[in-house]
Chains A and B, each alone.
Chain A
Amino acid sequence: MTTLKRVWQAGVIGVVVAATAGTVAVAADVVAGSSTGAARALSSAPGTTLVAESGEPGERGGGDDYDDDRGGREEGAMSGDTDRSGSAGADIGVEGAIAAVTGAGYSDIREVEREGRDYEVKARDADGRLWELYVDAGTGEILDRERD
Chain B
Amino acid sequence: MTATASAPTPDGRLARVWDPLLRVLHWGLAGSIAVAYVSGEDAMTVHLWAGLAALGVVATRVVWGLIGPRTARFGAFVPTPMEVVGHVRDMLSGRVERHAGHSPVASVMVIALMLTVLAAIASGLLTLGGGEAFEELHEVLANAVVALVGLHVAGVIVSSIAERQNLARAMVTGHKKVDD
Contact = CB atoms under 8 A, between A and B. Distances in A.
Q: What class of interface size applies to chain B in its complex with A?
A: 20 to 34
A70 B129 contact: no
Contact of A27 (B52, B65, B78): B52
* B interface majority secondary structure: helix
Q: What class of interface size applies to chain A in its complex with B?
A: 20 to 34
Nearest to A22: B122
Given A29-B129, A30-B128, A70 B48 contact: no
A45 B41 contact: no
B151 to A, nearest CB: 19
A135 B45 CA distance: 26
B75 A13 contact: yes
Contacts, number: 89
A56 B99 CA distance: 62
Given A19-B119, A23-B122, A26-B126, A46 B132 contact: no
Interface string A2-31: 001100110011011101101110110111
A41 to B, nearest CB: 4
Nearest to B110: A16
A24 B55 contact: yes
Given A13-B74, A46-B43, 15 more contacts: A8-B78, A17-B62, A19-B114, A19-B118, A19-B119, A20-B114, A22-B118, A24-B55, A26-B125, A29-B129, A41-B128, A41-B130, A66-B139, A69-B41, A70-B41
Interface of B: 41-45, 48, 52, 55, 58-59, 62, 65-66, 74-75, 78, 80, 111, 114-115, 118-119, 121-122, 125-126, 128-130, 132, 135, 139
What are the 5 tightest A-B residue pairs by CB atom distance, in nearest-first order?
A45-B44, A41-B128, A30-B129, A30-B125, A23-B122
12 contacts: A12-B78, A13-B65, A17-B66, A19-B119, A26-B125, A26-B126, A30-B128, A31-B48, A31-B125, A45-B45, A45-B128, A69-B41
